[in-house]
Structure 1
Amino acid sequence: MPNAKAGPSRLEQKLRAEIKGDVFFDRFNRGRYATDASFYQIMPAGIVVPRTMDEALRTLAIARDDGRIVTPRGGGTSQCGQTVNEGLVVDFSKHLNRIISLDVEARTCVVEPGIVLDDLNRQLKKHGLWFPVDVSTASRATIGGMAGNNSCGGRSLRYGTMRDNTIAIDAALADGTLAHFGEVPRDVSQIDAPGSARALFRDMLALGEREAAEIADKFPKVQRRVGGYNLDALTPRNTANNLAHLLVGSEGTLAFSTRIELKLWPLIGTKVLGVCHFGSFYAAMDAAQHLVRLKPIAVELVDRTMIGLGRDIAMFQPVIAAAVRGDPDAILVVEFAEETKDENLAKLKQLSELMGDLGFTWTNEPRKWGGVVEITDPALQSSVAEFRAAGLNVMMSMKEAGKPVSFVEDCAVPLPHLADYTARLNEVFAKHGTRGTMYAHASEGCLHVRPVLNLKLEKDVRAMRAIAEEAFAMVREYKGSHSGEHGDGIVRSEFHAQMFGARIVSDFKEIKQRFDPGNVLNPGRIVDPPAMDDRSLFRYPPDYRVDDLKTVLDWSAYPGAAGGFQGAVEMCNNNGACRKLDGGVMCPSYRATRDEKDVTRGRANTLRLAISGQLGPGALSSDEMIETLKLCVSCKACRRECPTGVDMAKMKIEVLAARARSHGLTLRDRLVAYLPRYADLAARFAPLVNLRNRSAVLRALMERVAGISARRKLPAFRSDIFRVDTEAFGPADGREIVLFGDTFNRVYERENLDAALRVLVEGGYRVHVPKPKDGGRPPCCGRTFLSAGLVDDAKSELQRLVETYAPFAARGVPIIGLEPSCLLTLRDELLSLRNDTTAKTISAHALLLEEFLAREAETGRLSLPLGPLPGKALLHGHCHQKSFAAFKPVEQVLRLIPELEVETIESSCCGMAGAFGYGADTYEVSMQMAEASLLPAVRKADSATFIVADGTSCRHQIQDGADRGAIHAARLLAMSLERAQPRA
């Protein structure tokens, strides 16, 4: 790394003077762009995030003049090292992401290269169209990156590859020449293009004519061939040569795409899935060639390993339970999308008959065990698709030092050879002391194959090289393609000579030289690559070290040194699921800023670089690290939605603890952290303490002194906080429960606890509100202390809670709470702070009110005389509820109220997130998060609609942002009780 204290270089000064977008030359931001989803890491000289295409082109010119190389980048999800390089990285994804034009009748559109596939399809959906190259990374893959890789997707059997769906590309050559790449006649005199572009087109067509025989002989005859340059687009066999197809798959090495014209398709209407089960992996692979005869649009493989890992991931457990029968060695998910429902059902019937003809029945004979599970429910179909699409991350969720490594990932062989190829490949893995994972596109003979290796070990790196050579030799034997979907990058480019022969590789070099004689655009990819096993380019090079770390939480579930914290950080594989812009909750700060710094992946990369010393001494507790994590709202969405289990909220506690040790606390940290200890005293002087909310002067002073935004009202203290003189309520013979009165509801909104107490007593429960053994204030979960990194104080608070509730938990009494962030601390951080039997017992019995009531209702034990509440409830879920699968019970319980219509707001984090939204420096981002979906939905609701939110911070955000009062679900249940007929 260059000296961080050195002044800006001439290049940096020039860029900052002429580019309005972000320009980064600091080591933290450069480090965040040094990796993609491959196992490589190359530190760039700088990063540019242009606001306009003119700025992107100006960046190219400035870099060229300075002798720097340039690498265009979209989502940064390439698995072969295409988007990491020296020089400047230009990030198109933040600003250059528009649909430029759309022709619905012609089914075409023109887009900027930074648009994300899912975002494009969301905008096309209302026109009944979609772009069908449906890659598994659709939530973050950009169209420019997909064109660069010649992406394929799961339904290429029907729709083809990116190349098949690209009509034209406008691009800038390395020297700045702008050209339109599209269909051209072979008669060069008829080509309408500037002189230099016409000369380039002429030379390319001449090369295609000269090499036509060699291309026909050496290019694999499989659809999934995406290796090298698409020279076959240049040969005379084409009636019209589309030169855009030469740029597709070129990995940013030939030109700088500025706009891309795409072919669109009608939306799929009705569809069905047949999940074919096999007791033998070989049998599944052999069956694929027969199943495709039924003309499905996809046949996707899920192997035993992926099924097993999925069963350990909360978000996938329901779909596996519904779609998978028994213990198959592999399943093939066969998708049909005919025009009518009856046609689809007929296809399913044919599928079952074919499986029977192949000899597969639900029998006790393992090799012939199998059958079809039919899935016609659209919601379950979507869940199956999400699970299959998450295949890479599911595989990477292995909590061990070795991980499935992508290098023979996308070899494609003709279907008749697929079973033998995979069987021999497993023999190769075993020969080198490892095993492999396999999933994905059985319909195309292109499986995502990953041997499990630890690339920190030299012996495993040697094994990787040997496996690659043996695997590619087999692919050539079967006349397949060594690169079938994810491109070449660093990992496969060096094998082009064996695959295509020296003459074709020489043609590749000629094309690169003709397009980019200065070798400015992403050099070392496709042409003149480094060795795929050059460890100096690895994310974990030979000198990679992590010193012993003093951790404050238990990380023993993860591999690696330092109690597993290193292993937890390294679970991030950079696949970028956290960059999704819709659906789920993760990652709310990225959705607001679109900055790599503010996405879970960017934070995890920064942590990895920091703990391994690559960001300098003291990086873990540095100002730059705090800035990196500042917008992390600890929503815990990544804990559930990141299939590799990157728990950034938990990691943030470690950083805050290190920061507190080295730098102490700010006044705002102290005010938030110690709230449970001064809240009761503040309540005694509530009118005085609350003066701040009514005085502009005091607000301004508090913003200046404590960093609390003057634009926010603080929650108002009240004198009548929740206190009880008796420790038990309800019938003496009722089922026992403990009511956990958290600090927030106790001192700010006691009516929620009053309502919950009434609901539980009316339900016939014996409700305990026990006092601590020390006779002091009620128990606290310690969350506010954790938010400031004061882990010892949090342990102290939890010790009081454990001592208070342990006798109840020991005899199986549920512990019921109202505030999600507090109650769920007992299911999460408590076990990271202490792992004894008592803590585990308390954790196992901790439930939110609605979780408890929903369970009681399911078992038939709930007896609540709920009366009608005609009208509508608009429901917002707390992030922690969603993370712990505790939100659905809220919907279920509210739907028990007669005549109440319940509608859920599809929202991410509300943006208040505890104390986050109160910060003067985080207020704006807080409001951006809220405005994404929550506040607009609340404003649209009529005045009679109940706004329901269980989170204290969520309710305050709604009040501040929409001027609407929101209530806890407990209060709505209590209102319903008031409407009930008196019991006989």
Structure 2
Amino acid sequence: MAAPALRALGLDADDSSRRRTEYSYDASNYRLSPLCVVFPRSDIDVATAARWCHEHGVPIIARGGGTGMGGNAIGEGVVIDFSRHMDAVTSVDVEGRTAVAQSGVVLTALQKRVREISDGTLTFAPDPSSQSRATVGGAIGNDACGNHSVRYGRTTDHVVAISLVTADGVRLTATRTGLTATDPADSAAVRRAEDLTDALRDLVGDNLAPLRTELERIPRQVSGYHLAHLLPERGFDVARALVGSEGTCVIVVSATVSLVPVAAHPQLLCLGYRDVVDAARDVPTMLSFSPSAIEGIDERIVATMRARRGRSSVEGLPDGNAWIYVELDEFSADDVPTAISDLLEKLRAEGRLVDARTVSDPAARSMLWRVREDGAGLSSRLVDLDDPDAGSGYESWPGWEDSAVAPENLPEYLEGFQDLLAHHGLTGVMYGHFGAGCMHVRITFDQRTASGRETMLAFCRDAAHLVVAHGGSLSGEHGDGRARSELLPIMYSPAMMSMFAAFKDIWDPARVLNPGSIVDPDAIGDHLALDGIPARTWTTAFDLGIPGPGDDGRADHPVEAPGLDPFVHATQACIGVGRCRSHSGGVMCPSYRATRDEKDSTRARARVLQEMTRTAPDIETGWRSKDVRESLDLCLSCKACSTDCPTGVDMATYRSEFFSHHYRHRLRPMAHYALGWMPAWLRPATAMAPMINAVLGSRLSGPAARVAGLDARRSMPRFARRKSVRAALAPLVRRTDAPVVLFLDSFTKAFRPDVAAAAARVLGGGDTEQVSCEKDNCCALTWISTGQLDHAKKVLTRTATALDDGTDRPIVVPEPSCAAALRKDLPELVHTDAAKRVAARVRSFAAHVGEMLDDGYTPPPMPESVTVQTHCHEYAVFGPATQVSVLRRLGVSEVTSADGCCGVAGNFGFERGHYEVSMAVGEQALAPALRARSDGAPVLTDGFSCAMAVDHLSGVDSAITSVTGTHLAELLDPRTDTLRPAPSRKDPT
């Protein structure tokens, strides 16, 4: 076995079934299970692994972020994951404009470090849409480009030197002028460098004519090997010849890369067109203005973004059905506004432009760029253009993903491509690098049926002939991999294909490096991930909203069609783009950001669930999967993935569903009883509040916590006394004539009754009789999060019946997690019209305050500064900017937002075994925000979990003292004045 042998050599090698599943997929259509995964910490570790694999004839697959769409980061051998430990930027030379980075460095991390050291003047240019999780090694392997490739070209253009390990474990360095031993004292490496140099020079000398005529014909000719760099006139550039070799020739361990100056004043021009062909016809005019970017998207992506994330997510786009982003800066023209004006004048004269808009605000530019960057994910599950509110209209897949032609040939190529799609009965979603002639296209392939796979293969062959007829390349960015290598003979002559094979054999004569790509490729139709999934019915409590043929998508109406079971289809929403592996931006995925381990990413959890539905001998055994249970252990159920994931993966829901089946008729963890049933015992607990609080403050708290399955290190909440609860809630009664309904959850009643009273006063304008209070029902959140769905459905059914009063009065919930449960989980678990009606009326408190402001509400004077802990569930269900937007509208001039999970996340932070990860999650945003907050600035924690996180951090971190979380209702309460400035302050309205 590979893993034990590699561990005996001192390597970190994991061959568990769960780990092998996580690395069986990348972002392509393919699935191949490795023997094991190795996590090296140095180039010595890599060389050790390579020597063992070479001696035993075991394939080696180098892997970075695993975001490639060609299937070139998976294989049936030893996967070497560089992203876990080999992620250092070892040096930055500002004067020489170079940086040295290990292969596992994420591109945005490299860019951030370079900007820090250069005082914001330099950066690493390649910026593919996956840059927040793609690595330097992956960018070199695929010759990645990015949104600004019109100016900065491909990764090839920025590689100065590559530190590599050969297939048999020798450490060498490839430079712009040759090949040397990494360690000059290593005589074997010196000899190997000399032998390889001689072989490469002989290959070039014997093939000068085809090397000069078949390669480097267009800006994005990425397919095949980049052998033209070895020509004498190119200086025998071995480093750049290895870029784009997809791990089939050498293992890249680090690289020296060149840096470029940062534009200080970019301006984004958004152009609307009737269709992508019209847009492409205007590209030559745009190119004449020396832009840094010319990027395009079509209407299906925009419609999906609007439906999934709200209309505000695409604000700023002009009218049209296809859009081009043109970015101009001080390197384009001395006077950028004049250049934009001149460009628009010329485009209008061409007669194809529909509308245009200039976007100068950095935040607005960032929002629009996100639409383009999330294209691959958004286009995988698209809304129906005729009915965008109906949910997913259809799905699309890679396969013919990134072909490229010369920019001037793009319009005719797109016309032919659209005709080809129609001929095969397919739809293509187009986006990409119009300025470089590279189109990303995701297509409605049906890979689940034999006929669908035959159509896909026939289309890809026809598409290869089409792009070659237009002088183009099968791949313009993502490499050939398993998706296109079989088609390379259509693009290249037999002589060139022979040279590719000879180049591979010079470096890897045993052919152990990433077999299946470029040379001796696997067939396109081999190893498809959607092929061979059993047609079984995984009955679910949740309505997953995914209809099949003749079905309404309800979970109690299972789909019988192969591959279209709602649960299977839901887990397949993950296509591996890996945004959950991002280190910054958004909230997803807090556990991965804490551990930096693939197993704790949303993607890995989805892949393990996919494997469960594929390989389990039967459904009962599948639901008992230990691999899935282990994979889901550190999921915080924060729901952020349902918003941040471009494909809409909702892991919190899948986790609850799995737990429901996994523990059916079995003993659950004690925390599921202690915390899952909390609403049932909270009311009697308040009667014994003094005694319980005394125990929690004594030495008995530790043993009591351990018995309940909790971590004794975590600060436990103190119960409000029954007298305080009665005093706060007594005036709040149910009224049929009040215009608004206040729903009081169990946590607010038991721990924060003053919040309930404050909320009622705010909603009623100081008069609680203007508010109808619901305090005898429950949102069932704790039962949902612990997967006790049978009981959750009973509780929610009662709640829906009680709240469905025949009115459309808004139901305002002070606790954001409970508001989210009533808005989203209620109609998905209780399949009645009453549940849908009630869910539509539910508002979080902050969201409703926004509506109050729309209706003319005049708030009291607000503090100058507020630090707000963004609540994950409110972020996911009611909108990412709900709290921040409302605070700014209320007149708070300085809003510091901690955009990241607090780490407590309901029961997660209290459960034994989660404390370290919980604290690490808190360090991602909340703890730094608390340390940096202005003295006396309120800390807004509408969520009870967030308040508990603040309370705990205040007790254990000496830099965070005397901080207490405040609810927005308390900030707005007309009876509260301690948090407010003097009334002489200008009225914010």
Q: Name the counterpart of 2:65.
A: 75
Asked whether the 8 Å contact 1:729–1:767 carries over to 2, the reply is no
- Secondary structure of the 2:426 match is coil
Q: Name the counterpart of 2:172.
A: 179
Deviation at 1:256, TM superposition (A): 1.4
CA distance in 2, matches of 1:449, 1:840: 37
Name the stretch that deviates more: 337-346 or 56-65.
337-346
- Aligned ranges 1:558-597 → 2 under 5 Å: 559=548, 564-597=566-599
CA distance in 1, matches of 2:855, 2:523: 62
Asked whether the 8 Å contact 2:29–2:399 carries over to 1, the reply is no
Query: Superposition RMSD on alpha carbons, in Å?
Result: 2.5
CA distance in 2, matches of 1:92, 1:509: 27
- Choose which of 466, 484, 492 in structure 2 pairs with 1:492: 484
Q: Deviations over 1:429-463 (max 9, x none)?
A: 11112121211111111111232111011112111
Pair 1:286-2:281 in alignment? yes
Query: Match of 1:378, as an amino acid?
Result: P
Q: Name the counterpart of 1:164.
A: 157
Query: Match of 1:71, as an amino acid?
Result: I
Could you tell me which runs of 5 or more consecutive residues in structure 1 were left unpaired when the two chains were aligned.
Answer: 1-8, 362-369, 772-776
Deviation at 1:962, TM superposition (A): 2.6
Query: Against the structure 1 CA distance between its residues 706 and 507, is the aligned structure 2 distance closer, same or farther, given a 3 Å change threshold?
Result: same
Asked whether the 8 Å contact 1:911–1:930 carries over to 2, the reply is yes
Asked whether the 8 Å contact 2:816–2:844 carries over to 1, the reply is yes
Q: Name the counterpart of 1:970.
A: 969
- Aligned ranges 1:404-415 → 2 under 5 Å: 404-415=396-407
Asked whether the 8 Å contact 1:64–1:520 carries over to 2, the reply is yes
Q: Deviations over 1:54-106 (max 9, x none)?
A: 22322222222333111010100111110110111011101100001110111
- Secondary structure of the 2:973 match is helix
User: What TM-score do you get using the length of structure 1 for normalisation?
Assistant: 0.92
Query: Match of 2:169, as an amino acid?
Result: G
Q: Name the counterpart of 1:248.
A: 243
Asked whether the 8 Å contact 1:224–1:446 carries over to 2, the reply is yes
Q: Deviations over 1:764-793 (max 9, x none)?
A: 57443446xxxxx71110001112211121
- Secondary structure of the 2:818 match is helix
Asked whether the 8 Å contact 1:219–1:500 carries over to 2, the reply is no
- Choose which of 790, 793, 801 in structure 2 pairs with 1:792: 790
- Choose which of 693, 717, 720 in structure 2 pairs with 1:718: 720
CA distance in 1, matches of 2:536, 2:90: 50
Pair 1:45-2:44 in alignment? no
- Choose which of 599, 602, 619 in structure 1 pairs with 2:601: 599
Q: Name the counterpart of 1:853.
A: 849
CA distance in 2, matches of 1:719, 1:599: 41
Query: Match of 1:629, as an amino acid?
Result: L
Q: Name the counterpart of 2:126.
A: 133
Query: Against the structure 1 CA distance between its residues 885 and 324, is the aligned structure 2 distance closer, same or farther, given a 3 Å change threshold?
Result: farther
Q: Name the counterpart of 1:642.
A: 645
Query: Match of 2:569, as an amino acid?
Result: G
Q: Deviations over 1:96-143 (max 9, x none)?
A: 000011101111000000000011111122222111101000111000
Asked whether the 8 Å contact 1:283–1:419 carries over to 2, the reply is yes
Q: Name the counterpart of 1:544.
A: 533
Deviation at 1:518, TM superposition (A): 1.7
Asked whether the 8 Å contact 1:867–1:977 carries over to 2, the reply is no
CA distance in 1, matches of 2:524, 2:702: 59
Query: Match of 1:13, as an amino acid?
Result: P
Q: Name the counterpart of 1:806.
A: 804
Q: Deviations over 1:472-499 (max 9, x none)?
A: 1122222211121110101111222221
Pair 1:320-2:314 in alignment? yes
Q: Name the counterpart of 2:690.
A: 687
Deviation at 1:694, TM superposition (A): 2.3
Asked whether the 8 Å contact 2:269–2:326 carries over to 1, the reply is yes
Query: Match of 1:230, as an amino acid?
Result: H
Q: Deviations over 1:17-68 (max 9, x none)?
A: 33353x2212221011001111010111111122333223222222223331
Query: Match of 2:972, as an amino acid?
Result: L
Asked whether the 8 Å contact 2:403–2:476 carries over to 1, the reply is yes
Q: Deviations over 1:699-726 (max 9, x none)?
A: 13531x3321111232122223534345
Asked whether the 8 Å contact 2:766–2:974 carries over to 1, the reply is no
Q: Name the counterpart of 1:774.
A: none
CA distance in 2, matches of 1:897, 1:274: 32
Q: Name the counterpart of 1:298.
A: 293
Asked whether the 8 Å contact 1:556–1:563 carries over to 2, the reply is no
Query: Match of 2:10, as an amino acid?
Result: I
Pair 1:15-2:6 in alignment? yes
CA distance in 2, matches of 1:892, 1:884: 15
Query: Match of 1:790, as an amino acid?
Result: Q
CA distance in 2, matches of 1:388, 1:545: 35
Query: Match of 2:883, as an amino acid?
Result: V
Q: Name the counterpart of 1:622.
A: 625
Q: Name the counterpart of 1:467.
A: 459
Q: Name the counterpart of 2:662.
A: 659
Query: Match of 1:182, as an amino acid?
Result: T
Identity of aligned residues (%): 31
Query: Match of 1:176, as an amino acid?
Result: G
Deviation at 1:236, TM superposition (A): 1.6
Query: Against the structure 1 CA distance between its residues 890 and 976, is the aligned structure 2 distance closer, same or farther, given a 3 Å change threshold?
Result: farther
Query: Against the structure 1 CA distance between its residues 729 and 831, is the aligned structure 2 distance closer, same or farther, given a 3 Å change threshold?
Result: closer
Asked whether the 8 Å contact 1:950–1:969 carries over to 2, the reply is yes
CA distance in 2, matches of 1:883, 1:682: 32
Q: Name the counterpart of 1:381.
A: 365
Query: Match of 1:283, as an amino acid?
Result: D
Query: Match of 2:802, as an amino acid?
Result: T
Name the stretch that deviates more: 447-456 or 141-150.
447-456
Could you tell me which runs of 5 or more consecutive residues in structure 2 were left unpaired when the two chains were aligned.
Answer: 383-390, 549-558, 956-962, 985-989
- Secondary structure of the 1:586 match is coil
Deviation at 1:831, TM superposition (A): 1.1
Query: Match of 2:192, as an amino acid?
Result: S
CA distance in 2, matches of 1:863, 1:93: 51
Deviation at 1:903, TM superposition (A): 2.6
CA distance in 2, matches of 1:521, 1:915: 45
Asked whether the 8 Å contact 2:164–2:172 carries over to 1, the reply is yes
CA distance in 1, matches of 2:547, 2:94: 50
Q: Name the counterpart of 1:111.
A: 101
Query: Match of 2:964, as an amino acid?
Result: G
CA distance in 1, matches of 2:811, 2:95: 60
- Choose which of 358, 381, 398 in structure 2 pairs with 1:397: 381
Query: Match of 2:88, as an amino acid?
Result: R
Q: Deviations over 1:376-422 (max 9, x none)?
A: 22211111111101111111023769632322222211223211211
How many residues get paired? 941
- Secondary structure of the 1:372 match is strand
- Secondary structure of the 1:371 match is strand
Asked whether the 8 Å contact 1:555–1:563 carries over to 2, the reply is no
Name the stretch that deviates more: 715-724 or 68-77.
715-724
Deviation at 1:805, TM superposition (A): 2.0
- Secondary structure of the 2:288 match is helix
Asked whether the 8 Å contact 1:299–1:442 carries over to 2, the reply is yes
Name the stretch that deviates more: 137-146 or 296-305.
296-305
Q: Name the counterpart of 2:194.
A: 198
Asked whether the 8 Å contact 1:281–1:330 carries over to 2, the reply is yes
- Choose which of 427, 433, 441 in structure 2 pairs with 1:449: 441
Asked whether the 8 Å contact 1:935–1:962 carries over to 2, the reply is no
Deviation at 1:620, TM superposition (A): 2.7
CA distance in 1, matches of 2:445, 2:159: 37
Q: Name the counterpart of 1:434.
A: 426
- Aligned ranges 1:668-747 → 2 under 5 Å: 668-703=671-706, 705-720=707-722, 722-723=725-726, 724-728=729-733, 736-747=739-750
- Aligned ranges 1:86-97 → 2 under 5 Å: 86-97=76-87
User: What TM-score do you get using the length of structure 2 for normalisation?
Assistant: 0.91
- Aligned ranges 1:332-347 → 2 under 5 Å: 332-339=324-331, 343-347=335-339
- Secondary structure of the 2:352 match is coil
CA distance in 1, matches of 2:272, 2:702: 65
Query: Match of 1:15, as an amino acid?
Result: L
- Choose which of 942, 945, 962 in structure 2 pairs with 1:950: 942
Query: Match of 2:16, as an amino acid?
Result: D
Query: Match of 1:336, as an amino acid?
Result: L
- Aligned ranges 1:885-896 → 2 under 5 Å: 885-886=878-879, 888-895=881-888
CA distance in 1, matches of 2:932, 2:147: 39
